[in-house]
Structure 1
Amino acid sequence: MRYAKDGQPLRVQQLVRNDRLFGRAVDLFWKTWGEEGGRLFYEDAMTHALTDVEGTPSFYIAVKDDVIVGTYALLRNDLNSRQDLQPWLACLYVDPEMRGGALGAKLLGHALVETEKRGYRSLHLTSDLHGYYEKYGWKNIGVAYNTSGESIPIFHNYTRKEGADQS
C-alpha cells in the first residue's frame, strides 16, 4: 500500500523475508519498544514470523526513501492478561519527522485490512494514550493487566467488513 507526504512515495509492507530492511526493522522495533539487552527477543520473534507470513505474528514497516518511518505488528497476544482476545495491534510507531501527516491513521487502517485478510473480524490494542485511538473509531472496552500487575486500557475496532472507521 502506498501513501505520500510532501510528494514523496511511501509504502507500507509486511516483513516477509530476511533482507536488508529486516535488520533495520529489528533494530527499530527493539530501540522503540524493547528493553536494554532485549534485541534478541525482537529478532527471534520477527524471524519466526517469517515462517507463516499469512498468520500472526506479522510485522510491518512504512518505508520512505529507503528509510523506515513507521511500524506496527499484529500479534496473538500483547503480553497482557487478556489471553481470550486476539489478534492484537502492537508497536505502532511513527517517526517524529512524519508525525502530523496522518501516517499513524494510515497504519491503523492498514492493520485492520491485514487483520481481515487473516480471517478476523476485529482487532485489539492496549494504550494509555487518551483520545488518539478514539478519533479513528477505536472503542475503549476495559482494562488488561501487564506482567507487573499494572492496568492499561484496551481498545477494540472492527475490520472493514464490520464497519471499522478507516480514516
Structure 2
Amino acid sequence: MHIDYLCDHPELIEELATLNFNEWGEFRPGQTVEDRIEHMRESCGKGAVPSVVVALEGSRLLGGALLIESDLKLRPELTPWLAGVYVKTEERGRGIASQLVNRVVEEATALGVPQLYLYTDTSQSLYARLGWEVVEDLVYENLPVTVMKFVIQH
C-alpha cells in the first residue's frame, strides 16, 4: 500500500468522487454525483490547497483524503481543512485512514499551515489518537458533529 496524489491517477477521480458522494451526499442537498466528480477534479492539486491524496494497492483505489480551503459553512474563518477521509469498507481496520490523515498533515506542514481543521460525526476517537483536539461540538445540516484541529509544529 502506498499514498500518492490523485492528480497522478486521473482515472480514479470518478471512483473516489462516487464513493464520497455515496458516503456523504445527503449532506449536500441538490448536489449530484457529477457535481462531486467535478469538485474532486478541481481539488486535484499537488503541493497546494486544494490537494487530494489516495491510498493505493498497485493501481487499486483503497481510499482518499482532501486538503481543502473550507469545509464548514458555519465556520468560514477556519482554514484549511482535512476533508473526505474515506476508506473502502472492505479495506478498513488496516490503518489506512490514519496514514491518509497523516499524509494530509504532512502536506499542510510543507505548506507552512499553522493548523488544520476537520469535522466528524463518528470518528472523534481516531482523530484524537492522531493528536487532533476538539474545538467545539455543533449541529450542522441536522447532524451533531465535532470540529477538531491539529496544531502543526514548525
Query: How many residues end up aligned between the 2 structures?
Result: 150
| Distance in 1, Cα, partners of 2:119 & 2:52 | 17
Q: Residue 144 of structure 1: CA displacement? A: 4.8
How has the CA–CA distance of structure 1 residues 144 and 55 changed in structure 2, closer, same or farther, with 3 Å as cutoff?
farther
Range with greater deviation from structure 2 (26-35 or 90-99): 26-35
| Distance in 2, Cα, partners of 1:109 & 1:18 | 20
How has the CA–CA distance of structure 1 residues 149 and 28 changed in structure 2, closer, same or farther, with 3 Å as cutoff?
closer
Q: Residue 112 of structure 1: CA displacement? A: 0.4
Corresponding residue to 1:13 among 1, 4, 11 = 4
1:49 corresponding residue in structure 2:
43
2:65 corresponding residue in structure 1:
72
TM-score (norm 1): 0.77
The reply on whether 1:32 has 2:49 as its aligned counterpart is no
Question: How many percent of aligned residue pairs carry the same amino acid?
Answer: 23
The reply on whether 1:90 has 2:92 as its aligned counterpart is no
How has the CA–CA distance of structure 1 residues 33 and 150 changed in structure 2, closer, same or farther, with 3 Å as cutoff?
closer
| Distance in 1, Cα, partners of 2:19 & 2:38 | 14
Q: Residue 29 of structure 1: CA displacement? A: 2.4
1:49-96 Cα deviation digits (max 9, x unpaired): 34x533222222111132211111111111331111111111111222
2:118 corresponding residue in structure 1:
125
How has the CA–CA distance of structure 1 residues 22 and 139 changed in structure 2, closer, same or farther, with 3 Å as cutoff?
same
Misfit runs of 4+, over 4 Å: none
1:84-123 Cα deviation digits (max 9, x unpaired): 1111111111222222221121111111001112220211
Corresponding residue to 2:55 among 62, 66, 90 = 62
Q: Secondary structure at the match of 1:112?
A: helix
1:5 corresponding residue in structure 2:
none
What root-mean-square deviation, in Å, do the aligned CA atoms of Structure 1 and Structure 2 show?
Answer: 2.3
Q: Which has the higher helix share?
A: 2
Range with greater deviation from structure 2 (29-38 or 55-64): 29-38
Unaligned runs of 5+ in 1: 1-9, 163-167
TM-score (norm 2): 0.82
Unaligned runs of 5+ in 2: none
Q: Secondary structure at the match of 1:131?
A: helix
